[in-house]
Amino acid sequence: MVDALAANPESAPLGARSRALVDFAIKLTRTPDAMSEADLARVRAQGISERGAHDLVCVTAYFNYVNRLAFGLGVELET
């Protein structure tokens, strides 16, 4: 599953709940200005609480921040 997500998260075989979370994170990462209430509604429809939605946004934003910081400063990752 992890390998499939790493290779192509859009086509990785996921259940409905995981698919909603991954799609939300992808959209927030790639096109944050396109986010809407409908995106949150899709996540909530999978049983994600307000706290869970908050955590999803925070974790996605944190990883985006750290990656941009590392890439911007030319940090080389360990193998």
- The domain locations on the chain are 2-73
Reported as a single tens digit per residue, the pLDDT across 28-63 is 999 999 999 999 999 999 999 999 999 999 999 999
CB-hemisphere CA count at 13 Å for 1? 6
CATH number of 2-73: 1.20.1290.10
Q: How far apart are CA 76 and CA 79, in angstroms?
A: 9
Q: Which residue has the higher pLDDT, 79 or 58?
A: 58
Token code pair at residue 78 = 């360990």
Placement of tokens 């075989």 in the chain = 13
Reported as a single tens digit per residue, the pLDDT across 18-36 is 999 999 999 999 999 999 9
Token code pair at residue 44 = 């909530």
